[in-house]
């Protein structure tokens, strides 16, 4: 993937595989002067990514999150109190000395400003991995789960686990076996007519988790939004333990999903919890005991594949 | 806690049902608790009132148990809800 140049705009074009410019099923239009919009079929909308000199951090007095991320001081701030975000509320995602992004809740446009340590690759890292999930969450377009996900024989399956719990390793193994990448780490989902869908995020995978690195470009990214077929929650077990898959129910299922919540902002907690309850009632969730032994990944892979292909879908239109 | 206790339910408290299990979620602190079928019935009635005496008057129409036992169970349930900050009590 490279940045192609038009007469008065810059847009994302694909050269390495047959896929239109879809990130989280949105066309990302990198545009300097807003004069041209490009739409491609099958996407959910267009999001303008505009380079600007207008991003001024002093316009965002309400700091919501301040944390160290990727070795950087990162701030999420806004221009008013944190209640239910209004459509014209302005937001700032600021990476100290690197880059500032700003947008309005439902403005359809993200402006950014490079700071002294910014590069094109670092810009795309922050945009794809953090800013877009935050944007889509605040705009209430998607709900996110902390999960890796792949498409196995057309079925979307998610892997959830705590950080360093093996999601990326298992996701990477499925990719090596030829299954399609849905997401590396942040699973965008939405509900429509009682069905919960998984949205392909971006075609990059980071099995190594180096700071501010976009990751490998997947040769086989999933391209279609599909119902979530099953969620597997990874539980580390002894290296010689049996690989056991156990269906979760009720409070245990809800609590495990809740632990894997992502982008669960305080002003949306009630909405997010209601969403998770609905998801828990609709989608099959399993715990899989994964032996702590890389030599046994093939066994884990086969166990999940056999299990998921034999599973009748519960998350479907009634 | 007595039948004269008044209470309020914080807006942060949510009731959710997952696979026929009922849970109370406190969005203010992220804690959640399961309640059994009897507790769910009591909670449903409690949402319509602010005094335990009023709750008891309605519950006794539905539960075929001696009034003394129902009263004791309601007070124990109310105390556990208060302890877990799922209701806020005001002795009057």
DSSP string, B12-28: TEEEEEETTEEEEEETT
User: Which tokens sit at A132?
Assistant: 């877009």
pTM: predicted TM-score of the whole model, two decimal places:
0.87
Scanning B25-84 for CB atoms below 8 A from A yields: 25, 27, 30, 32, 34
User: Is A318 inside any structural domain?
Assistant: no
> Residue A285 is part of which domain span?
143-309
What's the complex ipTM? 0.83
Low-confidence ranges of chain B (pLDDT < 50): none
At A156, the pLDDT band (50, 70, 90 cuts) reads: very high
Q: Are residues A161 and A211 in the same domain?
A: yes
pLDDT at position A120 is 87
Chain B interface includes A281 (CB < 8 A): yes
Q: Are residues A112 and A245 in the same domain?
A: no
Please check whether residue A223 is in contact with residue A136, taking contact to mean a CB–CB distance below 8 angstroms. no
pLDDT over 80 (residue A6):
no
The phi, psi pair for B80, rounded to 5°, reads -70, -35
User: Is A315 inside any structural domain?
Assistant: no
User: Is A299 inside any structural domain?
Assistant: yes
Among A103, A118, A138, the domain boundary falls at A138
Q: Are residues A129 and A152 in the same domain?
A: no
pLDDT at position A28 is 74
Query: Between A21 and A222, where is the model more confident?
Result: A222
A242-273 CB burial, b ≥16 within 10 A, e <16 = ebebeebebbbbbbbbbebbbbbbeebbeebb
Q: Are residues A116 and A149 in the same domain?
A: no
| C-alpha distance from B19 to closest chain A C-alpha (Å) | 5
Among A94, A123, A138, the domain boundary falls at A138
pLDDT tens for A254-311 read: 999 999 988 888 888 889 999 999 999 999 999 999 999 999 999 999 999 999 999 9
Q: Are residues A121 and A151 in the same domain?
A: no
User: Is A255 inside any structural domain?
Assistant: yes
pLDDT at position A32 is 54
User: Is A82 inside any structural domain?
Assistant: yes
Contacts of A274 in chain B (CB under 8 A): 14, 16
pLDDT over 60 (residue A190):
yes
User: Is A269 inside any structural domain?
Assistant: yes
pLDDT at position A56 is 73
Q: Are residues A183 and A293 in the same domain?
A: yes
| C-alpha distance from B43 to closest chain A C-alpha (Å) | 18
At A42, the pLDDT band (50, 70, 90 cuts) reads: low
pLDDT tens for A127-137 read: 999 999 999 99
Q: Are residues A157 and A266 in the same domain?
A: yes
pLDDT over 50 (residue A12):
no
* Domains of chain B (ranges, CATH numbers): 6-87 (1.10.10)
| C-alpha distance from B24 to closest chain A C-alpha (Å) | 10
User: Is A317 inside any structural domain?
Assistant: no
User: Is A45 inside any structural domain?
Assistant: yes
Query: Between A46 and A197, where is the model more confident?
Result: A197
Q: Are residues A116 and A232 in the same domain?
A: no
Among A122, A138, A154, the domain boundary falls at A138
Q: Are residues A202 and A242 in the same domain?
A: yes
For residue A175, give the CATH number of its domain. Answer: 3.40.50.300
Residue found by looking up tokens 């989608």 in the block: A283
Q: Are residues A193 and A165 in the same domain?
A: yes
Q: Are residues A277 and A148 in the same domain?
A: yes
Could you give the number of structural domains in chain A? 2
pLDDT tens for A204-214 read: 998 877 888 98
pLDDT over 90 (residue A1):
no
Q: Are residues A188 and A208 in the same domain?
A: yes
pLDDT at position A258 is 93
A119-151 CB burial, b ≥16 within 10 A, e <16 = eeebbbbbbbbbbbbbbbbbbebbbbbbbbbbb
């Amino acid at each position: 993937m490279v940045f192609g140049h038009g007469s008065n705009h810059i847009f994302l074009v694909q050269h390495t595989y047959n896929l239109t410019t879809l990130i989280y099923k949105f066309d990302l239009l990198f545009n300097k002067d807003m004069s041209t919009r490009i739409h491609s079929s099958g996407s959910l909308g267009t999001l303008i990514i505009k380079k600007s000199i207008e991003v001024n951090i002093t316009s965002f007095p309400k700091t919501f999150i301040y944390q160290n991320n990727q070795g950087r001081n990162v701030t999420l701030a806004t221009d008013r109190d944190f209640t239910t975000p209004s459509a014209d509320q302005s937001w700032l995602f600021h990476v100290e000395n690197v880059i500032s992004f700003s947008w309005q809740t439902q403005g359809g446009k993200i402006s950014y400003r490079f700071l002294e340590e910014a590069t094109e690759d670092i810009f795309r890292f922050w945009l794809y991995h953090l800013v877009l999930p935050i944007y889509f969450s605040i705009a209430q377009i998607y709900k996110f789960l902390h999960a890796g996900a792949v498409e196995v024989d057309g079925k979307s399956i998610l892997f959830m686990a705590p950080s360093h719990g093996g999601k990326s390793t298992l996701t990477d193994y499925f990719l090596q076996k030829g299954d399609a990448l849905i997401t590396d780490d942040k699973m965008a989902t939405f509900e429509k007519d009682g069905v919960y869908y998984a949205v392909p995020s971006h075609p990059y995978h980071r099995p190594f988790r180096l700071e501010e690195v976009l990751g490998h470009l997947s040769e086989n990214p999933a391209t279609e939004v599909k119902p979530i077929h099953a969620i597997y929650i990874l539980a580390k077990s002894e290296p010689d333990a049996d690989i056991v898959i156990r269906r979760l129910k009720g409070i245990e299922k809800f609590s495990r999903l809740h632990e894997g919540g992502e982008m669960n902002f305080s002003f949306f907690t009630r909405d997010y919890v209601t969403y998770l309850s609905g998801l828990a009632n609709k989608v099959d969730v399993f715990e899989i005991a994964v032996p702590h032994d890389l030599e046994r990944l093939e066994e884990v892979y086969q166990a999940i594949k056999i299990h998921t292909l034999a599973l009748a879908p519960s998350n479907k239109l009634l | 806690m007595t039948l004269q206790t008044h209470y309020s339910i914080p807006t942060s408290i949510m009731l959710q049902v997952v696979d026929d299990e009922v849970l109370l979620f406190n969005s203010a602190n992220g804690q959640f608790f399961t309640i059994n079928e009897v507790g769910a019935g009591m909670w449903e009635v409690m949402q319509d009132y602010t005094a335990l005496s009023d709750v008891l008057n309605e519950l006794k129409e539905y539960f075929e148990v001696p009034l003394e036992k129902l009263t004791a169970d309601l007070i124990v349930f109310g105390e556990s809800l208060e302890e877990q900050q799922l209701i806020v009590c005001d002795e009057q």
